[in-house]
Structure 1
Amino acid sequence: MMPELNERGAATVAVLSDMDPWEANLVLNLRLWCEGSSGQSQVWNEYRNALPGEHATHECHAFETLVRTIVSSAHRPLVRHQVGCSCVGADEAVFVNLVRMASEGHLNDAALVATLLMGPARAEHVALLAGQVGTCARKIGRRPPHSKPQAAQNVVRLH
């Protein structure tokens, strides 16, 4: 039996409390970003509060570019959980693993992981962006505020 399109990528594979703080924050920022403009504002504010001036703008732009590239190039809609949900879905875990591997310097492996979410044509570019995002996320390493902004397209929210 084939799973429904919206079920693919939804399986709970972890919980936020078992992740490194920077990884949990990365998941929360992904969720916020995909919620829409209000969530994106929260992510931008986090970067502004954590980093000085132009550095904050540059790093948040890298995060934005990474998420937009993955979402726009995805094989199917990216599945995520609600901002306040404590579990981590498979797609969210793939995103974290991609960023972790890339920020540890394993760019070839990160590019391979990227192909779980999207086609291979942009996987190398995504791995490079993920390395930058991961390096910054490790520095920030704190939880953002929670809210329920508007939803982004090509992303399915479970619970």
Structure 2
Amino acid sequence: MSCTHRHRGGAPVGYLTELTGPEAASVIYLRLWCEGGSRKQEIFGDFASVFECQQAEHLTQAFGELCRMCVQHGRRPLMRHSVQCKCLGGDEACFANFISYAADGEREDALLMATLMVRPDMAPLLTSLATEIGLAFKQMRLAAPSAVPTPTHQHATIH
């Protein structure tokens, strides 16, 4: 699906390389989770490379729950780019900043951003999950992507 005025959340606002490691991971893992199937196993594999198996499984499930909440309780469909795209969409930038604020202990700002993505009554739970995931990303000492494939400019929504 191409970016149109109906899908402003998919409009490119930057590049993945401009994000910190944890922010870039938020976007990349969101894209992988949306692809489903074996792509979700890649998320688990990354967590398992740093954490014990049980903790890695818990973090994978927590990230999945975070994404499911965005789908089930979203104020509108969350737009995303394809896994291979080096562009950063507006909704993806919001998602990454939300997780970053939560992990940095900026709870009020994270809650405010959560209300932009989901129903207000779901915002506290979404923020708690984002805090846990964001802290895990920080512990993983992720590096920002340096050589991301060329953009495909294919955008999709989380359904």
Amino acid at match of 2:94: V
Q: Decide whether the 8 Å contact of 1:10 with 1:79 is kept in 2.
A: yes
1:23, distance to aligned residue in structure 2 (A): 1.4
Could you tell me how far apart the structure 2 residues matched to 1:82 and 1:47 are?
A: 22
In structure 1, the partner of 2:27 is 27
Amino acid at match of 1:13: V
Could you tell me how far apart the structure 2 residues matched to 1:36 and 1:54 are?
A: 21
In structure 1, the partner of 2:5 is 3
Could you tell me how far apart the structure 1 residues matched to 2:20 and 2:144 are?
A: 11
Pair 1:155-2:158 in alignment: yes
Amino acid at match of 2:158: V
Could you tell me how far apart the structure 2 residues matched to 1:80 and 1:129 are?
A: 20
Could you tell me how far apart the structure 1 residues matched to 2:137 and 2:104 are?
A: 12
* SS of alignment partner, residue 14 of structure 2: strand
The TM-score normalised by the length of structure 1 is 0.83
In structure 2, the partner of 1:149 is none
1:154, distance to aligned residue in structure 2 (A): 5.5
* SS of alignment partner, residue 50 of structure 1: coil
Divergent runs of 4+, >3 A: none
Gaps of 5+ in 1: 147-152
In structure 2, the partner of 1:99 is 99
The TM-score normalised by the length of structure 2 is 0.83
Gaps of 5+ in 2: 149-155
Over 3 Å counting, the alpha-carbon distance change for 1:97 and 1:143 in structure 2 is closer
1:30, distance to aligned residue in structure 2 (A): 0.6
Pair 1:81-2:84 in alignment: no
What is the RMSD of the two structures over their aligned residues, measured on CA atoms? 2.2
1:8, distance to aligned residue in structure 2 (A): 2.7
Alignment of structure 1 residues 129-144 onto 2, 5 Å: 129-140=129-140, 141=142
Over 3 Å counting, the alpha-carbon distance change for 1:143 and 1:50 in structure 2 is farther
Percent identity of the aligned residues?
A: 35
